[in-house]
Chain A
Amino acid sequence: MTTLNSTRLKPTWTLAGNSLLILMALSVFLPFFWLSLGSFKTGAQLNNPALLLFKPTLENWKEVLRSGVLESAYRSATVGLVTVSLSVVIGSMGAYAISRYKTGGSSTRFGILAAQVLPPAVLVFPFLEVSYKFRLNDTLFAVIISHLSFVLPVITWFLIGFFDAAPKEVEEQALVDGLSRFQAFRKVVIPQVAPGIGAAAVFGFVLSWNDLFYALILAPGNSATLPVKIASFNTFRGVELGAMCAAILVAVIPVLIVSFFIQKRLVRGISGGAVKY
């Protein structure tokens, strides 16, 4: 085992590496820790960010319940789920066509992301104009349509790689075994890229869930989504920091859980090793 030992890092390097990792972990976790503490502090206690020992209050959480944060979380979830469902259905078909049939030529692969290089402000005002015309302003429908403009291309782009990696022979086998092309796509190709679709869906959902800009402009009132609601704690009287901390936690916790799954799904193999190369 000399070779193994010789490739091991020296203790100094291991220590340096571990310290760096601890620093990185701290930089990620500290804001969450501070948010969690903040959500149980009174306004006066919040003025002292370093205060670690204090008598916790549930006032901020009660305020969160009173002000309709949960309802806006529900609206955000609805927008996210509808956007992702549509994006996965349309995006998987689009990605498959681009991957297998080179639809639109090689430029389409990245061309579908073209709109992403524009600042959202360029797109949001046309959306606003159209939503006014159709009397859709301040509805979730308007938000969903605007979210599709960035979630759908990203999911499609994400899935192209997964379809590229899916072995073509399995699909051809399905054609010979009696399926039509669409049936083969649905019953054989989709299961092969299922981990990819799962990851893309979670990724797309997080994009939609976190969006403030489109939602704030298209639906700032009764249909406010969670990020819009959180922003509303920044009132003309000042920032209601405690309630905002609690509301941010409401927004962050689902994303954390979801991120845990995306990570698991991403590392899982694509085709399960049925095809030998």
Chain B
Amino acid sequence: MASISLKQIQKSFGEVEVVKGLDLEIPNGQFTVLVGPSGCGKTTTLRMIAGLETVDSGVIHIGDKDVTKLEPKDRDVAMVFQNYALYAHLSVADNIGFPLRSKGVKKEEISSRVAEVAASLGISELLKRKPKELSGGQQQRVAIGRAIIRNPQVFLFDEPLSNLDAKLRLEMRTEIIRLQRRLGTTAVYVTHDQEEAMTLSDVMVVMKDGVIKQLGKPDDIYKKPVDVFVAEFVGSPKMNLVKGHASAGNFTAPSGFQIKVDPKLSGEITLGIRPEDVKITSKDASSKQGKVEILEQLGPRAILTIQSGNQQITAVVDNENLKQITDKTNISINSHLEDHHYFETSTGKRLN
């Protein structure tokens, strides 16, 4: 277990600067998730922590040790790759025991540790098989087994669940959380899936274009995104963002969409409302008229795509509140002021 500290990390590939002077403190024993769209530098950052990429400038510490110039083997980190990267020519047992063998641990100890790890992951009966004889989920378990066997200081996960089907992904997600909690090892996890990031992380780091946009607890980021990018990236369905003009407590969008906002606001702003904060009624009580275009049933809830003038609004509504609302129903849209997110339109920065 160790904390990780990245100071002013910079990395370019040719002309393209992928990571731009990144500062990041990854707390000891916590599960930190780097999340962002493709090309945001999250995987490169992870690979620099692993030592698989050199840094152009900056310093990386794992614990008290400066590892910036160390080879991957000397960093005491374990990594799980997206495609599992199992050694095809070795059996499952040899794959899991590989890191110990490369350290020169005695055979008897390796086999007892392998048995122990395999049992904890429920793959004891697969030990003699070759990787190609395993399913995706089993391969993933072997890759995780290989990572945990030598009690590294840090676990690094590079989108390890991307190749699994939806059901297995959820199962493995829970398993990874349970494992990390049990071992208490510092973990850094990279994903482009914000939902995965929200559920897994103790600390969530949202990245874009090689810089950190926001860092914090997932819930805090969800509730108070620092800018339009984070607001839109985190949360599913996406936050409704409407550009318009605020004056004397009224917000009007060019599309004709109107709603009450904080009276202190004035000028051009972008209003953000989470789909679950959009309140709808089928009564004709409001001037914010809209029409349900699409109604997607999710069981206990439904996603409504509402057209209000030229403006599209998404709402997530509990089924019990749907009542007589169906496709093509005319409805009124409302929301509580405390659920509003206000952003400066020119810079995208948060105002409230």
Complex contact A191–B87 (CB within 8 A): yes
> Which residues does chain A contribute within 8 Å of B98, judged by CB atoms?
174, 177
Residues of A near B51 (CB, < 8 A) are 175-176
Partner of A183, one of B86, B102, B136, B156: B102
Distance of A174 Cα from B73 Cα, bound (Å): 9
- Our count of residue pairs bridging A and B at CB distance below 8 angstroms stands at 89
* B146:A276 contact, CB within 8 angstroms: no
- For B103, the chain A residues whose CB sits under 8 A away are 178
Q: Mark B120-155, 1 if CB is under 8 A from A, else 0.
A: 000000000011100010010000001000000000
Is A275 at the interface (CB under 8 A from chain B)? yes
Does the CB pair A178–B102 fall under 8 Å? yes
Q: What's the nearest-Cβ distance from chain A to residue B77, in Å?
A: 6
Residue of A174, A192, A194 contacting most chain B CB atoms (<10 Å): A174
A274 CB, min distance to chain B CBs, angstroms: 4
| Min CB gap A185→B, angstroms | 13
Q: How far is the CA of A271 from the CA of B84 in the complex (A)?
A: 13
Q: Inside 8 A of A173's CB, which chain B residues have their CB?
A: 79, 81, 85, 87
B18 to chain A, nearest CB (A): 17
Q: Is A49 an interface residue (CB 8 A)?
A: no
| Interface residue A272 (Cβ < 8 Å from any Cβ of B) | yes
Q: Is the CB of A175 within 8 A of B88?
A: no
Measured CB to CB, the closest approach of chain B to A206, in angstroms, equals: 26
Q: Which residues of A in the span 137-178 have a Cβ within 8 Å of any Cβ on B?
A: 167, 169-170, 172-178
Interchain CB contact under 8 A, B83 and A180: no
CA–CA, A172 to B163, complex, Å? 19
Q: Are A274 and B88 in contact, CB atoms less than 8 angstroms apart?
A: yes
A273 within 8 A of B: yes
With the chains together, A41 CA to B337 CA distance in Å? Answer: 106
Q: In the assembled complex, how far is the CB of residue A180 from the closest CB belonging to chain B, in whole angstroms? A: 6
A274 and B99 within 8 A (CB)? no
Q: Which residue of A lies closest to B89 (CB)?
A: A191
Given contacts A178-B73, A178-B102, A180-B71, contact A275 B85 (CB under 8 A): yes
Contact between chains at A277 and B83 (CB < 8 Å)? yes
Cβ–Cβ < 8 Å partners of B50 in chain A: 172, 176
For B103, give the chain A residue with the smallest CB separation.
Answer: A178
User: A272-B132, A273-B132, A276-B163 known; A177 and B146 CB under 8 Å?
Assistant: yes
Contact across chains for B88 and A271 when beta carbons are under 8 A apart: yes
Interface residue B37 (Cβ < 8 Å from any Cβ of A): no
B109, chain A: closest CB distance, angstroms: 15
Q: Report Cα–Cα, A173/B82, bound state, in Å.
A: 11
Q: A192-B89, A276-B163 are in contact. Are A172 and B131 (CB under 8 A)?
A: no
CB pair B130–A276 under 8 Å, yes or no, is no
B261 at interface by CB-CB < 8 Å: no
* Inter-chain contact B83/A178, CB cutoff 8 Å: no
A77 within 8 A of B: no
Task: Please judge, given known A-B contacts A272-B132, A274-B131, whether A177 and B83 are in contact too, CB under 8 Å.
Answer: no
* Chain B minimum-CB-distance residue to A170: B85
Q: Does B72 contact A (CB under 8 A)?
A: yes
**Alpha-carbon distance between A239 and B132 when the two chains are bound, in angstroms:** 56
Residue of A nearest to B76 (CB): A178
**Could you say which residues of chain A place their CB within 8 Å of the CB of B89?**
191-192, 194, 272
CA distance A178 to B83 in the complex (A): 19
Q: Are B73 and A169 in contact (CB under 8 A)?
A: no
* Any A CB within 8 A of the CB of B292: no
**Shortest CB distance B73–A (Å):** 5
Residues of chain A from 177 to 205 with CB closer than 8 A to chain B in the complex: 177-181, 183, 188, 191-192, 194
Check: B322 CB closer than 8 A to any chain A CB: no
Determine which residue in B72, B132, B136 has the highest number of CB atoms from chain A within 10 A of its CB, and name it.
B72
Which one, A177, A179, A180, A272, contacts B88 given CB within 8 A?
A272
Do A275 and B84 touch (CB < 8 A)? yes
Q: Which chain A residue has the least Cβ–Cβ distance from B77?
A: A176
Contact A176 B87 (CB under 8 A): no
Contact with A along B275-301 (1 / 0, CB 8 A): 000000000000000000000000000
A175 near B71: Cβ-Cβ < 8 Å: yes
CA distance A167 to B86 in the complex (A): 10
The reply to whether A170 and B86 contact each other, CB–CB distance below 8 Å, is yes
Chain A residues with Cβ below 8 Å from B163 are 276
A-B contact pairs, 7 of them (CB 8 A): A174-B87, A174-B102, A175-B73, A191-B87, A272-B130, A275-B83, A276-B163
Taking A172-B52, A179-B102, A274-B131 as known contacts, 17 extra A-B pairs with beta carbons closer than 8 A to each other, sorted by chain A number, are A167-B85, A170-B88, A172-B72, A174-B87, A175-B52, A175-B73, A176-B51, A176-B75, A176-B79, A178-B102, A191-B89, A192-B89, A273-B88, A274-B85, A274-B132, A274-B139, A275-B83
